Structure formats: structure tokens, C-alpha cells
Chains A and B, each alone.
Chain A
Amino acid sequence: MTTTAAAPKAPKLKTSAMIASFADPGQRTSPAPFGHALAELAERDERIVGLTADLGKYTDMHIFAERHPDRFFQMGMAEQLLFGAAAGMAQAGLVPFASTYSVFAARRAYDFICLDIAEPELNVNIVGGLPGLTTGYGPSHQATEDVAIFRGMPNLTIVDPCDAVDIAQAVPQLAAAPGPTYLRLLRGKVPAVLDEYDYTFELGKAKVLRGGRDVVLVSSGLMTMRALQAAEALAAHHVDVSVVHTPTLKPFDEEAVLRELAGDRLAVTLENHTVVGGLFETVASALVRRGRGTRVVPIGLPDSFLEAGALPTLHDRYGISKDRIVERVLAELG
């Protein structure tokens, strides 16, 4: 091992708070879009109630609780009770939004969501914080497989919003949908991106945000923000990139996505989730079912338990940062 003169080292990044921000420095953000959207919806719809399992402050539910204290129910750190009770409230004619972290909803309370909510098709809206890799706390908090867990549940609509615009527009549509929904919540200061595009959120619909001749990026959640950033960066490399945002993962808008995947452009899926059981496999199975042999490049989290650390470090390490996406696309193009 050779020793070289001590080079100045960059300071190591810190894990920071439980819910670290994934917004880029200087990026335009909107505070607590879910909490504000729910509080506003409740002004118009008296059936709306909010529940949480000791994570109101960490899922932006506290905004709703402050505005509608008599319609907010603290269920304690008891996720089975949270979702069982949400089912009971829906049976009583209310429209509950029940929040916790995605790991607890998917891993601890699955049986209750499945049998009490999804089977009788009750209008309960599950709000899961920290989807995918949005915390540096490690596997206890990182819901890297929540979509894989929930996709097999009949009747459940799964929504993976990109930003504050998506969330604000999605909340009333989730309440209006008659059956159960699962929202992969982005909380705190959430980037606002999609208002720069000709875009509105429509439950169940994928939207082409920009066209491009060389590559098609199919993405959901915060990875759509990264896809748009990567598309800009790839333009400097004379690569013309199309971005298709599919915030509803189930039911999946096969028509729109497969229409865009026709032809010989490089097809890439981007998801803030393990490459097992999420967007990549949804797209792949849709292609196979129609006899299409399109090669698809999966960009997503690896099939492993992820490390703890700072989000920028981890996003880079696991290949979902803008720079790593650009690298990967250029490599695939040869």
C-alpha cells in the first residue's frame, strides 16, 4: 500500500434527520403538500378524517390535525389498530386517510390492510412515508420493497407521486376513488417540478412529459424528477430523451406506456424501489403479455438491504442519482 501526501478530503456527508430531504440545493419546494391538500379537501368534504400511528408530525398529518382537530385520530404506535380502525371508520361512512411509514404499513399491518380494507373494497387511503430510499436510517426505515408487497393485493390502487404538484392533485382523487389506495408519501419540503410541464395528475393515467428520439425513460415517484434532470443533462450529449411519468403503479396504464415503448428507442425504467416486483417488472410483464421482445434497462435499487448514510451518497451509490442515470444511459447507448 502506497502512502501519498495527504490530499484535502471532502467532508463526509451526514445522515441528517430521520426524513432527510432529497431536494437538490436551491430547488423550488412546497411545504407539506399532503397535509395542506388533505386539510383543504376536508373543508369541502365532511367525510374526510385523518388517522396516524404516532407519526403525525413525520407524515405531514399534523397540518390536517391542526386545521381539523376533531377529525384527527391518534391511534398510538399500533399499526394493526390504525388500519383495522380505519376500516371501521370507512364502514361508518367516513373517508379515512391513515398515515404511518411505508415499512410499517407494508410489513407490520399487511393482514389488516388486506382483509379489513382491500377485500371489502373500503375507501381507506393509506399514506406511507419514507418510500424506497428516502431515509438514511437503513432497512428498518427504508421501504425498498413496499410496491412489491402491495402489488399482489387485489383492489388496492398504488400511487407513487413525483412531487408536490402530484401530491396536491392526487389527494382529492384518492378520496374520490371508491376503493382503497396506497400513496407513497413525499413529505416536508417537497420539490415542485411538474408545474413546469403541461401536466395534470389523473389517477390511473401515465403522461408523456417530454418527447425524444433516442431514449424513453419510464418512471414513477421522485425518479421522474431525476429522469427529467437526466434528460436535460443527456441533451448536452446530443441524446434526445422522452420521459413518461406513471404515478399510478396499479392499475397500470399499459396503453400509454406501451405506446411510448413502440419502436427502437432505448427503453429504461426508473424507480425508487427494488428492481424486484416494482415498475420494471410491471412494464416487463406488460410487454411480454403482448409478445413484445423489447429490451428494458432497469434503473432502481438493488435486491439487497441498503446501507445507512446520507441520501446523496446513497442515491449515488445505488445508481439513482442524476449523474449515475446519465452514465448508465450513455453506457447502454454504447
Chain B
Amino acid sequence: MTSNVETAPAERQAAVEAAAYRIRQHALAMGEVQGQGYVGQALGAADILAAVYADQLAFRPEDPEWDGRDRFLLSTGHYAIGLYAALAEAGIVPVEELETYGSDDSRLPMSGMSTYTPGMEISGGSLGHGLPIAVGLALGLRARGNPARVVNFLSDGELDEGSTWEAAMGAAHHRLGRLTAVVDINALQADGPTAGVLRTEPVADKWAACGWRVQRVDGNDVAALLGAFDAIAAEASTYDGGRGAPAVILCDTKVGRGVPLLEEREKAHFMRIEEHEWAVCQDQLTAGYRGPAEAGPAETQTRAKTQTREKVAQ
């Protein structure tokens, strides 16, 4: 098991919340470079990304290809801004490089691609691809005797895609107990609210009917996220050779979370933010994290990640 399970819950939660704060700072900084972008999604998913990278995944920052690493597959290519921030937080991508986001010749393109970025396991963007690939990766790792976990991050919009459900059935059929899907339910798609684009509810029932273990949490509540991951780990520890039901965490999140200016703005898939608003966003983020008394100039520091968390073979 990962060593973090033994860490006191309050400390774990604080560490993940701090990571989420830094991920949001990075995302806002990258958004400012572009002047617009998928900042709303990155802010909404920051707690999930922080829980995954600061608490859950085993990886080696200096060796992103390490065979024993847990695999994190980002289906939603446009969330790359969030993942780059998380990869910087994880020490896989240098923080200084984040300012190249979306620029010519950058390793950090607007839509995430595995061939561009260290630590990016797949090319997302064409939605509904992540879970099918995750199924094959989990099957392949198990066939090779590698106990690494596979985590697929997907969006509620991807539940429109038939391939997601092909893969959901396949994962349960093949008893991929080391596969976890994390669904970001921000209730927003390119053409508007999910409920009006294509009704996906009851989401939990659908996954359960496909044979998955389902938990639904507030995806912006770090304690709830960690609890969900812990429950999965506890159940998976009883699986023989990793064979058992795959798990899904349905995460209800808020677009723009952590920055009231954006939380209250009319929700848009591609959010426009005026030039003068970026500093306000950073200030509001810091005020929310630190409390109003400590609100000040936006910080750019990041935690130096020197430790590698490795998983003892299960």
C-alpha cells in the first residue's frame, strides 16, 4: 500500500488542499498567457488532480516512463491546462515551462498529447478514447504481472460517447480491479448544460448496471475525495491478482471553483477573462485559500518535490 495511508488524515487533507491551491495558481497563470481558455475546467478539476498527484499515484518525477508508475489517463484533452499544472506540482514538468502553454513549439499544447509532454500517457481530445485505452492498459499490465493502477479521468460530456460504455462493460467483464475511473461532473458541455445537451442521469445507476463499484462525492471536497480513494483501496486489497470490479468516483464539481468571479460568471466551455481580471482571480483564489486577512499578491511558489512515493508490490 502507499505510505500516505498511514499519514494522519488532517495532514493528508491539508497537503492535498495546498497542492490544489498551487494547481489553481498555475492554471490561472497559464490562462493569462493565452488570455482565455479552459481555466474554468482546470479550476473545477484541481481538487481531483491534486488528490491524484499529491496523494494517490506512484511515480518518479525524474523518470516519467518508470514501468512501475501508476498510469493517469486524461481523456479530456482540453483539460491539459489542469494536468500541466498538476505535472508541475508533481515535479515532472518544470514550473518555468508552464508559461509556454499553447505557444508554438511548446511541449504543452492546448489539447493534451502523449507525444508532446512527459507524464502525459495518452492523447486526449477526441472524446471517449480514454476509457477504452485504460481497459487495454489495465489488461496489459495485469498480463505482464505489473500491479500498477490505471486511473482514467473523464468528463460527464464523455458519457455521451458510446465508446465509454463499450469500455465500461469491458472493464467489468475482464474484472479490472486496478482500474479507477474519475468522472468530472461539471454539468457543462460545449453547447451548454449537460442536462440540455444529452441527459446522462442517472449516472450512478448506469455505472452500477455496467458492473462498477460507484461512489458519488463532491469533487471539490478534498476529504471526500480521499475517502473515496481509500474505500477503493480497501476493497481492492481483497482482490485476488487485481481481479474484481473496477471502481468509479463520480465527482460533482463547480466550474471556476476557488475563484468567485469565475464561479458566478455565466458558464461557458471556453471562458473569456478580461486582461484586468487575472490579478483579481489570483487574489480571490489566495483569499479563499488563506482567508481574507492574508490575501495579497499572487504567489508563484511551488512545493519542491524531492520525494518519490513508490508503491510496494501488492
Contact = CB atoms under 8 A, between A and B. Distances in A.
Whether A and B are associated in the same complex: the answer reads: yes
B121 interface: yes
Interface string A64-88: 0000001101011010110111111
A94 B146 CA distance: 12
A116 B128 CA distance: 11
Contacts of B131: 84
A115 interface: yes
Contact of A85 (B115, B123, B128, B133): B133
Contact-residue size bin, chain A (C-beta under 8 Å from the other chain): 20 to 34
Interface in A45-101: 49, 70-71, 73, 75-76, 78, 80-81, 83-94, 96
Contacts of A281: none
A119 interface: yes
A20 to B, nearest CB: 30
Contacts of A93: 67, 140, 144
Nearest to B136: A88
Interface stretch (B81-89, B164-172, B189-197): B164-172
Nearest to B77: A115
Contact of A92 (B114, B129, B137): B137
A96 B169 CA distance: 20
A137 interface: no
A115 B122 CA distance: 9
Contact of B140 (A78, A80, A89, A120): A89
Contacts of A120: 114-115, 123
B173 interface: yes
Contacts of A71: 143
A84 B129 contact: yes
Contact of B170 (A81, A115, A119): A81
A78 B170 contact: yes
A112 interface: yes
Contact of B163 (A80, A86, A91, A96): A80
Contacts of B203: none
B134 to A, nearest CB: 6
B123 A84 contact: no
A126 to B, nearest CB: 14
A88 B170 contact: no
The B interface is mostly helix, strand or loop, or mixed, namely helix
A80 B165 CA distance: 10
A89 B115 contact: no
Contact of A81 (B115, B126, B163): B163
Nearest to B163: A80
A115 B126 contact: yes
B25 to A, nearest CB: 31
A111 B128 CA distance: 10
Contacts of B114: 120
B140 A112 contact: no
Nearest to A46: B144
Contact of A112 (B115, B125, B129, B144): B129
Contacts of B132: 80-81, 83-85, 87-88, 112, 116
Nearest to B148: A92
Contacts of B170: 75-76, 78, 81, 85
Nearest to B169: A76
B139 A116 contact: no
B174 interface: yes
B140 A94 contact: yes
B143 A92 contact: yes
Interface in B177-211: none
Contacts of B123: 115-116, 119-120
A83 B163 CA distance: 11
B141 interface: yes
Contact of A73 (B139, B141, B163, B169): B139
- In the complex, the 8 A-B pairs of residues with the closest C-beta atoms, listed nearest first: A84-B132, A88-B136, A92-B140, A85-B136, A88-B137, A78-B166, A80-B163, A89-B140
Given A81-B166, A88-B136, A115-B129, 16 more contacts: A76-B166, A78-B170, A81-B167, A84-B129, A84-B131, A84-B163, A88-B135, A89-B140, A91-B140, A92-B137, A92-B143, A93-B140, A111-B129, A115-B123, A115-B126, A116-B122
18 contacts: A49-B140, A73-B174, A76-B173, A78-B163, A80-B132, A81-B132, A81-B163, A83-B132, A85-B136, A87-B132, A88-B132, A88-B133, A89-B137, A91-B140, A93-B67, A94-B143, A116-B123, A120-B123
Interface of A: 49, 70-71, 73, 75-76, 78, 80-81, 83-94, 96, 111-112, 115-116, 119-120
Interface of B: 67, 113-115, 121-123, 125-126, 128-129, 131-141, 143-144, 146, 162-163, 166-167, 169-170, 173-174
